[in-house]
Amino acid sequence: MIIAVSVMALGAILLGAALGYASIRFRVEGDPLVEKIDAILPQTQCGQCGFPGCRPYAEAISRGEADINQCPPGGEEGVRKLADLLGRDFKALSAEHGEEKAKSVAVIDEQSCIGCTLCIQACPVDAIVGAAKQMHTVVASLCTGCELCVPPCPVDCIHMEALRETAENWRWKYPVFQLEQAA
């Protein structure tokens, strides 16, 4: 009886020590799930999800505080990928966070810009160049289309322009053929 108990106890102590050592030796810095969720998010940093940027939203999802359908720029496909990653069911984008739009970039009407720098301060990815009392302009290749620069503009000279199809970004479409009609 005593031998049995002491053997079990010894086993427990040894295993406990091994686990304790492993938890220190193989410790993972940060939460890998957050990284994975963040990699799926589109990085527009638009805040439409209700969090200040994509990473905070990723953290909220991993803590279970936010749902997976709050990211309109990621679209339905983004929700699907998140559902796959987290093993949840797909759900439609929540209407209160906005709807999926075609990718667009901000364009500043350079004639009306008064050089107030408010949009520069609002841009989360530093895609607007300009200085006080100088005309501002958007670097289109860096713009994520988050629309955060639109409301601060005091003269309403920023509008969103959908990206046009050019020979550079054109790609073959999904083939659609008529099926054979039954006579």
Partner 1 sequence: MSLSTLFRFKGGIKPEAHKDASAGIPIAPAPLPSRLVIPLRQNARATARPLVEAGQRVLKGQIIGAAEGTLATAVHAPTSGLVRAVEMAPVPHPSGLEALCVIIEPDGDERWIDLQPFDHRNASPQRIRDYLRDCGIVGLGGANFPSHIKLTPGEAGIRTLILNGGECEPWITCDDRLMRERAERILGGALIMREITGASHILVGIEDNKPEAVQAMSAAASRLGAEGVTVHAVPALYPAGGEKQLIRVLTGVEIPYGKLGTHFGVQCFNVGTAYAIHRAITCGEPLLSRILTLTGNMARPGNFEVLIGTPIRELLPLADPRPDTDHFLMGGPMMGFALPSLSAPVVKATNCIIAASPALFPPPPPEMPCIRCGACAQVCPAELQPFELYWHARAKNLGKAQEYHVFDCIECGCCAYVCPSRIRLVDYFRYAKGEIWAREREKSAADAARERFEFRNLRTEREKQEKAERLAAKTAAGREAVARAAAAAPATASAPTAATVATASAPQPRAADATKALIQAALDRAKAQKAAVTPRNTDNLTAEQKAEIAEIEARRAKIREMARPHTPPDE
Q: Which pair of structure tokens corresponds to residue 130?
A: 């300009």
3-state secondary structure 16-39: HHHHHHHHHHCCCCCCHHHHHHHH
Strand-pair category, 137-138 with 104-108: unpaired
- Please identify, among the stretches 9-17, 81-89, 148-156, 161-169, the one whose residues bind partner 1 according to the rule CB under 8 A: 161-169
- Please identify, among the stretches 1-9, 20-28, 38-46, 59-67, the one whose residues bind partner 1 according to the rule CB under 8 A: 38-46
Contact assessment for residue 146 and residue 41, using Cβ atoms and an 8 Å cutoff: no
Q: Which is nearer to partner 1, 84 or 156 (CB)?
A: 84
Contact assessment for residue 152 and residue 52, using Cβ atoms and an 8 Å cutoff: no
List 1, 29, 174, 183, residue binding partner 1 (CB under 8 A): 174
Give alpha helix (H) positions in 64-117.
75-86
Q: Which is nearer to partner 1, 102 or 167 (CB)?
A: 167
- Contacts with partner 1 in 52-81 (CB under 8 A)? 53-55
Stated as kind and residue range, the H or E segment containing 137 is: strand 137-138
List 33, 124, 135, 160, residue binding partner 1 (CB under 8 A): 124
Determine the size of the site formed for partner 1 (CB under 8 A). Answer: 31
Query: What is the contact surface with partner 1 in residues (CB under 8 A)?
Result: 38, 41-45, 53-55, 124-127, 142, 144, 165-175, 177-181
